[in-house]
């Protein structure tokens, strides 16, 4: 039984803390190293689970220590990991991340086993599609597997959220929008996908309307500390949702925290107006940047104010 189902990536993040981010060709001294559970799919699943959703993950890890640790971590978070399977073809995905003292990061992924998640793996988890209320997908697994999961979910009447992250390197099939109820991108992803430069609230308002013209039903662009902008078919004016000002320590995984929270609110409080779901998701994401790491920076439900869940 799962309310929020995630089909996506599992990584081990290798995090290098430094006074600032290096520029190309430069060597600088870092200050600390840490590892932590990451991967956009796994992060989003962890975020929804820590807020209190029954969550399940469909993913692929390598036959190695990181893979074993990722599966144990899902179980420790109460996530159904029955369909996180192991391949001998590649190592578990890793994400080397450099974090500067201003909380900003520089991030690369070596997807490894994530690229071995197939449509058959998704079909093998059909039972999870029977109970799920919300499906969340990103782009750190093969795009055809993502598209298959979105289509399968929509056929089953499940609400679908597509987070096209990281920014697509190839031309996007408009079918991704056809099978998604919500498309939620950050500035970089939105710029790549719309061909417009998205840097602030005003340019995001233009880009969400462009997303609607491309076929999105609801388009959201997240803007980090500036919150998010959204527009939906039938509602002409884009809206801006502001985020609380916080002191950012590490922004890694903040976008995933937002997406996981949004899935949580759709699954658990479906009658809440969209703008309020987004305001609360911004609150949850802003809370996560106050701490280091991705999944480990996400608060449990018990640590957040009751109003977030009312």
Query: What does the binding site for ligand RIB look like in residue numbers (CB under 6 A)?
Result: 9, 11, 13, 38-40, 43, 95, 107, 109, 140, 252-253, 255-256, 294
Nearer to ligand RIB, 27 or 169 (CB): 169
Which residue lies nearest ligand RIB, judged by its C-beta? 38
Distances (CA, A) of 52 to 55, 176, 195, 269: 9, 28, 37, 12
Q: Cα–Cα distance between 250 and 104 in angstroms, integer?
A: 6
Beta strand pairing status for 228-232 and 235-241? antiparallel
Q: Is 123 a catalytic residue?
A: no
Note whether 217 and 233 are within 8 A (CB): yes
How far is residue 114's CA from residue 8's CA, in Å, rounded to a whole number?
A: 8
Q: How far is the CB of 209 from ligand RIB (least distance, A)?
A: 26
Phi, psi of 34 (to 5 degrees): -150, 155
Least distance to ligand RIB from the beta carbon of 99, Å? 11
Q: Which is nearer to ligand RIB, 163 or 180 (CB)?
A: 163
Q: Closest distance between ligand RIB and the C-beta of residue 46, in Å?
A: 10
Q: What's the min distance (Å) between Cβ of 253 and ligand RIB?
A: 4
- Taking the least distance from each CB to ligand RIB, the nearer of 62 and 253 is 253
As a three-state string, the secondary structure of 147-190 is HHHHHHHHHCCCEEEECCCCCCCCCCCCHHHHCCCEEEEEHHHH
The one catalytic residue in 256, 271, 303, 306 is 256
Q: Which is nearer to ligand RIB, 43 or 232 (CB)?
A: 43
User: Percent helix, strand, coil in the chain (nearest 5)?
Assistant: 40, 25, 35
Cite the active site residues: 256
């Amino acid at each position: 039984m799962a309310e929020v189902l995630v089909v996506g990536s599992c990584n081990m993040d290798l995090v290098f803390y430094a006074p600032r981010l290096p520029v190309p060709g430069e060597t600088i001294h870092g200050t600390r190293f840490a590892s932590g559970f990451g991967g956009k799919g796994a992060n989003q699943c962890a975020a929804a689970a820590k807020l209190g959703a029954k969550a399940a993950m469909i993913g692929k890890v390598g036959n190695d220590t990181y893979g074993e640790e990722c599966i144990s971590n899902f179980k420790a978070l109460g996530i159904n990991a029955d369909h996180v399977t192991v391949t001998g073809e590649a190592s578990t995905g890793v994400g080397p991340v450099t974090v500067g003292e201003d909380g900003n990061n520089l991030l690369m992924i070596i997807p490894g086993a994530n690229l071995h998640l197939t449509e058959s793996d998704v079909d093998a988890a059909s039972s999870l599609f029977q109970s799920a209320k919300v499906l969340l997908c990103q782009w750190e697994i093969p795009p055809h597997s993502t598209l298959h999961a979105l289509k399968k979910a929509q056929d089953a009447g499940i609400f679908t959220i597509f987070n096209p992250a990281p920014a697509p390197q190839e031309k996007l099939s408009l079918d991704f929008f056809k099978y998604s109820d919500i498309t939620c991108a950050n500035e970089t992803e939105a710029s790549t996908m719309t061909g417009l430069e998205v840097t602030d609230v005003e340019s995001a308002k233009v880009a969400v309307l462009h997303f609607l013209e491309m076929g999105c039903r609801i388009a959201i662009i997240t803007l980090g500390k500036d919150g998010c902008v959204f527009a939906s078919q039938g509602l002409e004016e884009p809206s801006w949702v502001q985020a609380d000002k916080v002191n950012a320590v590490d922004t890694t995984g903040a976008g995933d925290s937002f997406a996981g929270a949004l899935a949580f609110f759709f699954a658990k409080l479906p009658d809440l107006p969209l703008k309020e779901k987004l305001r609360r998701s911004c609150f949850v994401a802003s809370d996560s940047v106050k701490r280091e790491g991705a999944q480990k920076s996400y608060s449990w439900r018990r640590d957040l104010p009751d109003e977030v869940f009312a």
